[in-house]
Amino acid sequence: MIELSPRPGVSLRAAAFAPDQSPRGAAILFVGGPGKMTIPDRPAPGWQTQETSNFLARTRELFRKAGLFVAVVDAPSDQSQGLINGFRLGAAHATDIAALIGEVRRRAPDVSVWLVGTSRGSISAAAVAARLAERGGPDGIVLTSSVTRPGGGTMRDTVLDAELPAVRVPALVVYHRADGCELSPALDAGSLLGKLSKAPRKEILLLDGGSPPRSPPCEPAAPHGFLGIEEQAVGAIVDWMFKG
């Protein structure tokens, strides 16, 4: 467990998992929804691994086995209800993640650091990369099942609200063709990629197959969470990270 103080009076936790060998890269994972993970002092091996857990939290071991140093980030202490009301888009969030990127680089030196988001977590990955484009930002981003259409209440922001033209690192956009979530249709992949106009390398990855849904369409145990094709999805993501 990593615990940082990125802003005065604020603490930020991330659950960290190191590969068995020297890392070939690092990935900071942003879950969807309100992004609140309540990370314990010592995350157990089975923590957040159920099929009903967020796609990125439950596949962290696949990223680790692929040689990545992995950090699953929580909401900061001053956001008790999670990353709502546009917090993912703001300067405070970028400050928090800049501190985490720095800590990950200290623990896994001389490798590329990627921000990987899923669903609403993609807002974090894109917005942070845009705000940190000049200094202290990631080496690339991966946006999976990205929310492109506004929801209700305190979570109306979308990945398209980030300053996407400011992103200047490689960007991979990943969707399941059968994603039935009305907030993240795969048909929006092209418009999302198009707004990443200054990314030096960018691509859309559309996946198929998997297990029948066992949750509502916008929840993890469905195509929105790549249910049944987790290994394929993570393998394709990691391959893309290092092919450039």
10-residue mean pLDDT series, the chain (244 residues) = 97 97 98 94 88 94 97 97 97 98 97 98 98 96 98 93 98 98 98 98 98 96 98 98 86
Provide the 3-class DSSP secondary structure of residue 204. Answer: strand
Other CB atoms within 10 A of residue 132 CB? 20
Model confidence pLDDT, tens digit, residues 169-180 = 999 999 999 999
* Residues 14 and 74: beta-carbon distance below 8 Å: yes
Check whether domain 2-241 has CATH 3.40.50.1820, yes or no:
yes
Give residue-wise pLDDT tens across range 104-117: 999 999 999 999 99
Residues 177 and 159 sit within 8 Å (Cβ to Cβ): no
The helix (run of H) or strand (run of E) holding residue 29 is strand 25-30
Rounded to two decimals, what is the model's pTM?
0.97
